[in-house]
Amino acid sequence: MKNLATDLKVLQMHSQPTPSIQTPTKSFHPIFPPLELKCSSLKDLQQIHAQLITTGFIHHSPSLTKFLSISFSLPSGTTSLEYACMVFNHTHQPNTVIWNTILRGLVRHNLANYAILAYVDMLQEPTTPPDRFTFPSLLKACTQSVAFSEGKAMHGQILKLGLESDLYTQTTLISMYAACGDVVSAQKVFDHLGQRKNKVVWTSMISGYATNRYPREALRLFTLMEEEEGLEIDEVTIATVISACADLKNLDYGKKLHLRIQQFRAKICVILGTALIDLYAKCGQMEDAREVFDAIPAKNVVAWSAIISGYAQNNQGEEALRLFKGMVGNADHKPNEITIMAVLSACAQIGDLTLGKWVHAYIDRGGMNYSTSLNNSLIDMYSKCGKIHVASEIFGRMKHKDIVSWNAMIGGLALHGLGEKAVAEFSLMQKAGIQPDDITFIGVLSACSHGGLLQEGLTQFRNMREKFGLTPKLEHYGCMADLLSRAGMLEEAEKFIQDMPMEPDGAVLGALLSGCRAYNNVEIGEKAAKRLLEIEPENDGVYVLLSNIFAKKKQWTEVRGVRNLMHQRGIKKTPGCSSIVVDGVTYTFTVGDHSHGESKEIHSMLNYVNKRLASAGHVAETSEVLLNIEEEEEKERSLSQHSEKLAVCFGLIKTEPEDEILILKNLRVCRDCHSAIKLISKLFHREITVRDRSRFHHFKDGSCSCQDYW
Q: How far apart are the first and last CA of the chain?
A: 65
Q: Can you give the pLDDT at residue 77?
A: 53
List Cβ neighbours of 354 (8 Å cut-off, separation of 6 or more): 581, 583, 584
Assigned architecture for domain 473-574: Alpha Horseshoe (1.25)
Query: For the chain, how big is the Rg over CA atoms in Å?
Result: 33
CA distance 276 to 303: 10
Q: Can you give the pLDDT at residue 636?
A: 54
Collapsing DSSP to helix, strand or coil, 63 comes out as helix
This prediction has a pTM of 0.77
10-residue stretch averages of pLDDT, the chain, 710 residues long: 43 33 47 56 81 83 85 71 85 90 90 90 89 93 87 92 89 93 94 89 94 94 84 84 95 92 79 95 96 91 94 92 87 87 92 91 89 96 95 96 97 95 97 96 96 95 96 96 95 96 92 89 89 86 82 81 85 87 89 89 95 90 53 55 93 93 91 93 96 93 89
Q: Can you give the pLDDT at residue 7?
A: 41
| CATH 1.25.40.10 domain range(s) in the chain | 473-574
Cβ count within 10 A of residue 520: 12
Distances (CA, A) of 208 to 149, 205, 230, 246, 363: 18, 5, 21, 15, 33
Helix (H), strand (E) at residue 108: helix 96-108
Report yes or no: 532 and 506 within 8 Å, Cβ to Cβ: yes
Q: How far is CA 344 from the centre of its chain?
A: 9
Q: Can you give the pLDDT at residue 566?
A: 85
CA distance 702 to 682: 5
| Short-list 357, 444, 420, CA closest to 394 | 357
| Short-list 264, 262, 284, CA closest to 273 | 262
